[in-house]
Amino acid sequence: MILFKRTRTFFFIAISAILLISCTNKAEEKNYLLGIVNPNPKLEKTIKSFKAAMASNGYEEGKNISYYSIFKQHDIDLKLPELIKQNPDLILTFTTPGTKKTLDAVRGTNIPVLFGILYDPLEGGIIDDLVNKKENITGVKVAGSVQKALEWLPGLKPGIKNVFVPIKFDTQAARLSLAELSSGAEKLGINLQIAEVEDKAQLTSALSAIPANTEAMFILNSILIVSNIDEIVSKATMLNIPIGSNTGQIDRGVTITYGQDSEYTGKQAARLAHKILMGAPASGIPIETAHFKLGINLKKALEIGLTVPDNILQMADIVVR
Amino acid sequence: MKILSSVSIRKSLLIAFITLAILPVIFVNSVLSWKNISFQQGQAVRNQQEIAKRVSIIIRSTIGNIKYKLFSVSSQNNLLNIPQEELKTLLSKTMHIGDDIHKDAINSIALVSESGMEVLKVSRTEIYTSSNSRNLSTSDEYRMPYTTGLEFVSNVYIDKETGEPLVILALPVKEPASGLIIGVLVAEIRIAFMWDIITSIQIGKAGAAYILDSKGRVLAYRDPSLILKKTILKMPPKTGLGKGLLGENSVTASEQLRISNQIYYVVVELPASETFEHLSLDIMSIVSFLMLSLTGSISLWLIVSKRIIKPIEALSHTAGMIESGDFSLKSHIFRKDEIGRLAVTFNKMTDRLTTTINSQKVHIENYEKANKNLEEKSRQLEELNRHFHIEMNVRKKAEYQSAQINHLAALGLMTTAIVRRTESHSEAIVETVKTLSKQIDPDSAAAISVASLLRTSENTLNTLQVIMALGNSDNGVRQPAAISEIISECVHICETFMGNDIHIYLTIPNNLPDIMLQPQLVRLVILNLLCNADKFLDESPGNANFDRTINIQASEIQQEGKLLLKLVFIYSDLTPRSQITEDILFPFSGNTAKNIFDDIWLNIIKSIMSDLGGTLNIEKSKTGSSIINMELPAFKHLNTR
């Protein structure tokens, strides 16, 4: 009887060991943690698109990926260390300040950083080279479309020479995009009527003081300006002048845009995130330029009395009718 | 076999069981696994080749579409003469219209004139003005299409501004009517779509696809850092198991992709570990089987050990203890099988052995006790014996002495009577002979005989007188005596009687042992041996004078632990008589008691010798001499002379 019991115990241990070995052989599905640092609420659309694209790549929130989001500027300093402690697989950042703080926080760790949208990380001081980066970072830059966006305006309304540009330098992108715009305007022989404002009141005031020869407006990457786009659109409509922009906002009444599309950029960032999560080092992935899309708000164009040429409509990626 | 014989049964069984468990499983599974490896490798290569083919088709198709778009522009009539704005719209439309991939793929399009100067350029990011116009007359993108009339694809390069991989696709612009080349359409193509295609392809869990150019440079891979580092692989890509981009052991398959003048290779690679993942499962199965077999074997071994080896070891241990003398140990195996029965028999045997040994011990103890008793008894018996012997000796001696005394007394009486009778006869004979001799002519032969007779008679008379004297002096008391003195005395007497007729030589050591006896008896014997030897010795033929030589040698000898004195009388020219005849006993002839006195001398001597505890024998030497050996008990007197 004792022998039987011993033998039974021995068999039990042996079979358990075999089962244990078999079980350990099964690959355990990884659960990813992604941090999102986005102090700009206007980019929510991009994040949504990013998450959707991630899901289509197989990263389903709550299933095999979870997001730790920091949405407010003042939360960054508070919550970022907590996020780093959790050793996320990747941190998705937006805006130059948000990206800078994140990059400082992850320094010394292997946590990769992916910026979803940055106007120009090179000029913004995030990286020192677009290809050979020292930091474990990559992302999508949106610079490069301002000149072309400006170029599209004469196509919509030939002969434009004076363009009103309200701006607040509340972002790095605002300065850089204005510089790019100025360069393009010079090439095209366009005169920029730059109105620097500090707040909404000043904007209102500037709008009310638009020069009489103004033939178009141009919206750059300024939070204040983009946040008050409705007022600007309203004024432009009143003046029957088109608005050009590199920031999208086509659905908010901007007549013609050429630049990154929030949805598409979100997808683009998601593709880079997928690469990183697949094992590619972020530092080795070249920074991509956002896909620039041509958008026409046909409805607004007609409203201000413009006839949009067919070839433009044919080339347009987005048409708001 | 010698090694095996020295290995314990337990180890031998363990080795045997494990060998039986492992070897067949390993052999069968090795064969199956080898077949499986070949099959899986072939299958993986086929699958990967299929993927590579599909990727190359997608890329070829995408590039083809782009080329088609550009071709549709380049083949337009009078392209170079179209107004700038119209041309710009045309090129912009070409660049922007299409699906996502094709639309975004073209980064810029430039129309180059016959002279190599850019006529117009549209770009996604730049504003083109006439001041930006470049002279491409020396560049390949112009020269190649222009000179060959064939489309041209440049090497892949990275745009330093955007970090994107680009190639230049240049098509000749021909005059439709004449077919003459009038310009070149140069398009900058973003081939990031190739990266996206490569990245989007899921090849197993860890597999990867990549694109190499003809020099082996990596153009598209999921990790762009390798591209940026200008990683170069060995060309052409190997199909099958070998070194790849993923590591040393990868299964790779490739598909050549030709786009215009460029040759690319789409390579699909899967780590060998994943390719042979099923093999890993097989190995796991083998390991599981092995473990099960081992478990079974070890269990079996444990059972066998428990059921057979352990009891045998216990029995062996018990036997060992018994061998070392501990009989208290028992084999505690309570089973009904053969080993159980063996254990029971063993225990019974041990019990029996114990009983036997115990009884033997009792026997030994008894034996030892008996031995001791026996020894004690023997000792007592010896003691008794010794006492008995002493008593017996004393008694015997006493009896013997008594008998001797009686015998000697009788002999003495008899001798006295004989001697007295003989003495008177002898005196009469002597007187008669003397008278006779006076009457006979002294020169006659008879006179010689008479003289001889007279001498003999006188000797006899002397002897008798001596005997009488001896008999008178012998008081029967024994005392230590030195034989040399006795012999010397006897020799002196004999020479006195015998005169020149006798020559006696003595060889007598000084320190001879003494004899314990009546010296007179010994003297009598020796004297008779010297003087009356002729009574029992035959005189030598031809020697009528009885002129004899006697050698007397004395020595001590050890015989049977006794000290003896040996006297040897060697008579020259004399041999023992065959019998004592009347002639010899001449002096006593005529006596009625003649027969009674036959051998009287010899018998007397022998009797005396016997009485003295000695021996006497006569023998004849080879030279004809007679030797009389006398042995007498002797002892070393404290005051040996």
Q: Which chain B residue lies closest to A279 (C-alpha atoms)? A: B223
- Whether pLDDT at B582 is above 50: no
Token pair, residue B56, equals: 């190359």
Q: Could you name the CATH architecture of B40-289?
A: 2-Layer Sandwich (3.30)
CB atoms < 10 A from the CB of A185, how many? 21
Question: How far is Cα B627 from Cα B620, in angstroms, rounded to an integer?
Answer: 6
Question: How far is Cα A301 from Cα A307, in angstroms, rounded to an integer?
Answer: 7
Confidence check on the interface: ipTM exceeds 0.85, yes or no:
no
- Where are the strands (E) in B95-207, listed by range? 106-113, 118-123, 152-153, 157-158, 165-174, 181-190
Q: What is the mean pLDDT of residues B153-168?
A: 82
Q: Could you name the CATH architecture of A32-142+261-291?
A: 3-Layer(aba) Sandwich (3.40)
**What pLDDT score does B204 carry?**
79
8 Å CB contact of A280 and B223: yes
Which of B162, B188, B202, B284 is best to mutate for the A interface (most A CBs within 10 A)? B162
Fold topology of B475-641? Heat Shock Protein 90 (3.30.565)
Question: How far is Cα B201 from Cα A60, in angstroms, rounded to an integer?
Answer: 19
Q: Nearest by CB to A275, from B129, B199, B284: name it.
A: B199
Q: Nearest by CB to A286, from B123, B224, B284: name it.
A: B224
Element at B209 (helix H, strand E) = strand B208-213
Q: What is the mean pLDDT of residues B465-474?
A: 55
Using omega within 30 degrees of 0 as the cis cutoff, is the peptide bond preceding B236 cis? Answer: yes
- Whether pLDDT at B589 is above 50: no
Question: How far is Cα A286 from Cα A139, in angstroms, rounded to an integer?
Answer: 8
Distances (CA, A) of A45 to A48, A92, A234, A294: 5, 14, 23, 18
Q: Which chain A residue lies closest to B282 (C-alpha atoms)? A: A22
CATH assignment of A146-260+294-320?
Answer: 3.40.50.2300
Helix axes A229-239, A200-208, angle to 10 degrees: 10
pLDDT, tens digit (0-9, with 9 covering 90-100), for B273-285: 777 777 667 777 7
pLDDT in tens, chain A (321 residues): 455 555 555 555 555 555 555 544 444 578 999 999 998 887 888 999 999 999 998 899 989 999 999 988 888 888 999 999 999 999 999 988 899 999 999 988 989 999 988 888 888 888 887 777 888 999 998 888 899 899 889 888 888 999 999 999 988 889 999 999 999 999 889 999 999 999 999 999 999 999 999 999 999 989 899 989 999 999 999 999 999 999 888 888 999 999 888 888 899 899 889 989 988 888 888 888 888 888 999 999 999 999 988 888 888 888 998
- Whether pLDDT at B424 is above 50: yes
**What pLDDT score does A164 carry?**
96
B110 — pLDDT class (breaks 50, 70, 90): very high
Q: Which chain A residue lies closest to B165 (C-alpha atoms)? A: A286
Question: How far is Cα B486 from Cα B463, in angstroms, rounded to an integer?
Answer: 17
Closest of A142, A263, A168, A270 to residue A222, by C-alpha: A168
pLDDT, tens digit (0-9, with 9 covering 90-100), for B203-236: 877 888 888 888 888 888 877 777 777 788 887 7
Q: Which chain B residue lies closest to A145 (C-alpha atoms)? A: B125
Interface of B to A at Cβ within 8 Å reads: 89, 92-93, 96-97, 103-104, 123-127, 129, 158, 160-164, 192, 196, 199, 205, 222-226, 228, 280, 284, 287-288, 291-292, 295, 298-299, 302-303, 306
Token pair, residue A195, equals: 């109105």
**What pLDDT score does B577 carry?**
54
Calculate the CA A131 to chain-centre distance: 19
8 Å CB contact of A288 and B160: no
Secondary structure string (H, E, C) spanning A186-240: HHHCCEEEEEECCCHHHHHHHHHCCCCCCCEEEECCCHHHHHCHHHHHHHHHHHC
Task: Kindly report the nearest CA distance between residue A24 and chain B, in angstroms.
Answer: 11
Closest of B253, B247, B250 to residue B267, by C-alpha: B253
| Average pLDDT of every residue of chain B | 76
Closest of A174, A149, A176 to residue A160, by C-alpha: A149
Which of A11, A131, A263 is best to mutate for the B interface (most B CBs within 10 A)? A131
Question: How far is Cα B530 from Cα B60, in angstroms, rounded to an integer?
Answer: 165
Indicate the burial class of A135 (C-beta count within 10 angstroms; 0-12, 13-18, 19 or more).
Answer: middle
Query: Could you tell me which residues are beta bridge partners of residue A257?
Result: A245, A295
B478 — pLDDT class (breaks 50, 70, 90): low
Question: How far is Cα B143 from Cα B592, in angstroms, rounded to an integer?
Answer: 192
8 Å CB contact of B199 and A271: yes
B66 — pLDDT class (breaks 50, 70, 90): confident
**What pLDDT score does B247 carry?**
78
Measure the N-to-C terminal CA separation of chain B; round to a whole number of Å. Answer: 87
Q: What is the mean pLDDT of residues B140-156?
A: 90
User: Which range has highest mean pLDDT (A236-250, B18-32, B171-185, B618-632)?
Assistant: A236-250
Task: Kindly report the nearest CA distance between residue B87 and chain A, in angstroms.
Answer: 12
Q: What is the mean pLDDT of residues B232-256?
A: 81
**What pLDDT score does B641 carry?**
41
B420 — pLDDT class (breaks 50, 70, 90): low
**What pLDDT score does B640 carry?**
43
CB atoms < 10 A from the CB of A108, how many? 8
8 Å CB contact of A21 and B288: yes
Q: What is the mean pLDDT of residues B445-460?
A: 73
Length of chain B as a residue count: 641
Which of A285, A287, A296, A317 is best to mutate for the B interface (most B CBs within 10 A)? A285
Phi first, then psi: give them for residue A70, nearest 5 degrees.
Answer: -125, 110
Using the structure block, give the residue that is written with the tokens 């006593």.
B588
B406 — pLDDT class (breaks 50, 70, 90): low
Question: How far is Cα B128 from Cα B141, in angstroms, rounded to an integer?
Answer: 19
Q: What ranges do the domains of chain B cover? A: 40-289, 358-473, 475-641
Q: Nearest by CB to B228, from A7, A131, A311: name it.
A: A131
Token pair, residue B142, equals: 């112009």
Which of B99, B100, B125 is best to mutate for the A interface (most A CBs within 10 A)? B125
The answer to whether A23 contacts chain B (CB < 8 Å) is: no
Chain A contacts of B205, Cβ < 8 Å? 27
| Residues carrying CATH 3.40.50.2300, chain A | 32-142+261-291, 146-260+294-320
pLDDT exceeding 90 applies to what percent of chain B? 5
Closest of B312, B296, B207 to residue B251, by C-alpha: B207
8 Å CB contact of A144 and B125: yes
**What's the sign of the alpha-carbon dihedral A86, A91, A97, A100?**
positive
**What pLDDT score does B208 carry?**
84
Contact A244, A256 (CB under 8 A): yes
8 Å CB contact of A294 and B96: yes
Phi first, then psi: give them for residue A118, nearest 5 degrees.
Answer: -135, 140
